[in-house]
């Protein structure tokens, strides 16, 4: 099984302004550094939990069709399946 991230999440889970208010309590902060830190924390949480918190697009390739009726996905529940291709 091969799983590849096709389209990473876009947008933010936490805005820089909201994070600055929570961390510093005022508007005196380095927005570039804080945005980089937020992105690093989100990526670490996604890797640790093996879950996507914001919509992403993944491509999964199987070497053969699985036996049984279930195809297990590695990152938890899906929001939708765009396409399913089967080559005999």
Q: How many CB atoms lie within 10 A of CB 46?
A: 18
Given its phi and psi angles, is residue 68 left (phi above 0), alpha (psi -120 to 50 degrees) or beta?
left
Model's pTM, two decimal places? Answer: 0.64
> Which pLDDT tens digits describe the chain residue by residue (88 residues)?
888 989 887 777 888 888 888 888 766 678 888 889 988 998 899 889 988 888 888 899 888 888 888 888 887 788 888 888 887 7
**Long-range contacts formed by 41-47: CB under 8 A, 24+ apart:** 42/13, 42/14
For the chain, helix (H) and strand (E) counts, in that order, are: 2, 2
């Amino acid at each position: 099984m091969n799983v590849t991230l096709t389209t990473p999440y876009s947008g933010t889970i936490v805005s820089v302004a909201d994070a600055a208010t929570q961390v510093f309590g005022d508007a005196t902060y380095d927005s570039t550094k804080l945005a980089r830190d937020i992105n690093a924390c989100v990526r670490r949480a996604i890797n640790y939990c093996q879950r996507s918190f914001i919509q992403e697009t993944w491509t999964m390739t199987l070497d053969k069709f699985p036996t049984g009726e279930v195809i297990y996905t590695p990152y938890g529940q899906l929001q939708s399946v765009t396409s399913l291709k089967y080559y005999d």
